[in-house]
Structure 1
Amino acid sequence: MASEPSPPGPAPLGSQVHAAAVNGDRSTLVKLITADPSLRDREDQFGRTPLMYCVLADRLDCAETLLKAGASVNQTDHSRRTALHLAAQKGNVRFLKLLLSRRADWLKKDLEDMTALHLATRHASSKPLALLLKHLGPGEVDSQDKNKQTALHWSAFYNRPEHVRLLIKQDSNIGIPDIEGKIPLHWAAHSQEPSATHTVHCILEAAPTESLLNWQDYLSDATALRRG
């Protein structure tokens, strides 16, 4: 007669600490990192730490516990993203405030050379972007990704007029060409959404010059004005 299969053993401590973070189980989290402080920055197969999972699962109290215990705020996963990248991607203002208060480095770039500022442009709400802008130093607003695109390019692409206004107010350069030769105006004018005219106007108000309107990209002779 075949023997009964033995029950599975306890999950590895690394798995347990990630599970506690995801589930918001603060008491288990405290118990684990107190017994073994190295667990506070333990990476899983994606290179993600418990702090990163707190961001993904919106477990602010567990994140505060980890940070108070000395968890690294700027550690990166296999995509080179930090907890701040993830908070910006999710548009989670509470987490952005917490991480920035713990000296999270918003200038860190992921594998696509994107910063948290780039990722914050994805959200309809301008609050995540506005919060990050308060932490910028001179000349930092125009950090470029691997396609030479700034947060202003992405705001124009996503048709976010309020984001565009905020970035221009922060002295973002409206004339920077990306890898295709496109300036933010090209991306705004290329949008099929009727509301894109607002985004276009925001950019034109900043520099209503003939040279800007006639800036031609490297791929065709079409100007931003003709695309509109």
Structure 2
Amino acid sequence: MKAARAGDARFTELLLEHGADVSRRDENHWAALHYACKWRHHHISKILLESKASANAESKRGKIPLMIAVWEGDAQSTVLLLEHGADVSQRDENLWTALHYATRSGHRQITKLLLENKADPNAVDKKGESPLMKAASEVDVQSTELLLEHGANISPRNKSNSTDLQRGDCLCL
């Protein structure tokens, strides 16, 4: 995990060649792939995925590497993870999907990529908030447009009785 965290490709490959367990987890159930995504080491993500690391390995809080790559804005690792079967519908302990992370963090290119890979624009989290509500609350017009183009519903209300676009009052017409 230290080699992945440090972004050291040569050492990562050496460890794997000598039998290092690509699935090994730490106390938070993070695998080396989680750390490679956290520190945006897409070259390490590639090595780990090619060594059969699970693209859907869950942390204690239900986060998979895709969610971490998305939050960090690492489009290259996001593409690699999707190519290796990462589940765009996976939810964490707060019921966030990768699309919630993309829209909350304003990563439009990744939002588009997730939608093109069948991410659900109407998935709601524990608070009843959809990715559209996250984009609207960030006043992210481009992501809001993308979500609407992919079938996001603007009518449902969250647990605070707000609709998606009421959260982004600067976006409302």
Q: Which bin holds the TM-score, normalised by the shorter protein?
A: over 0.9
Match of 1:202 among 128, 146, 164: 146
- What letter corresponds to residue 221 of structure 1 in structure 2? N
Give 2:156's aligned residue. Answer: 215
- What letter corresponds to residue 215 of structure 1 in structure 2? P
Please report the TM-score for the alignment, with normalisation by the length of structure 2. Answer: 0.93
- Does residue 58 of structure 1 match 2:2? no
Task: Check the 8 A contact 2:103/2:131 in 1, yes or no.
Answer: yes
- Tell me the SS of whatever aligns to 2:129: coil
Give 1:191's aligned residue. Answer: 138
> Distance in 2 between the 1:120 and 1:83 partners?
13
- What letter corresponds to residue 177 of structure 1 in structure 2? V
**CA offsets per residue over residues 130-187 of structure 1, 9 Å max, x none?**
11111116xx221000001100011011011111110110011111111111110011
> Distance in 2 between the 1:174 and 1:109 partners?
22
Which runs of at least 4 in structure 1 moved beyond 4 Å after TM superposition?
Answer: none
Percent of counterpart pairs with the same letter?
27
How many Å apart are 1:88 and its aligned residue? 0.9
- Does residue 181 of structure 1 match 2:128? yes
- What letter corresponds to residue 165 of structure 1 in structure 2? K
> Distance in 2 between the 1:57 and 1:87 partners?
8
**Structure of higher CA gyration radius:** 1
How many Å apart are 1:121 and its aligned residue? 1.0
- Tell me the SS of whatever aligns to 2:28: coil
Give 1:89's aligned residue. Answer: 38
Task: Check the 8 A contact 2:157/2:163 in 1, yes or no.
Answer: yes
> Distance in 2 between the 1:165 and 1:151 partners?
12
> Distance in 2 between the 1:125 and 1:110 partners?
19
Give 1:113's aligned residue. Answer: 62
Give 1:99's aligned residue. Answer: 48
- Does residue 76 of structure 1 match 2:25? yes
How many Å apart are 1:60 and its aligned residue? 1.1
Task: Check the 8 A contact 2:37/2:74 in 1, yes or no.
Answer: no
Give 1:150's aligned residue. Answer: 97
- Tell me the SS of whatever aligns to 1:122: helix
> Distance in 1 between the 2:127 and 2:166 partners?
17
> Distance in 1 between the 2:130 and 2:98 partners?
12
How many Å apart are 1:59 and its aligned residue? 1.4
Match of 2:117 among 161, 170, 173: 170
- What letter corresponds to residue 150 of structure 2 in structure 1? A
> Distance in 2 between the 1:226 and 1:144 partners?
25
How many Å apart are 1:125 and its aligned residue? 4.0
| Runs of 5+ unmatched residues, structure 2 | 169-173
- Tell me the SS of whatever aligns to 1:222: coil
Equivalent residue pairs, number: 168
**CA offsets per residue over residues 70-89 of structure 1, 9 Å max, x none?**
10001000110000000111
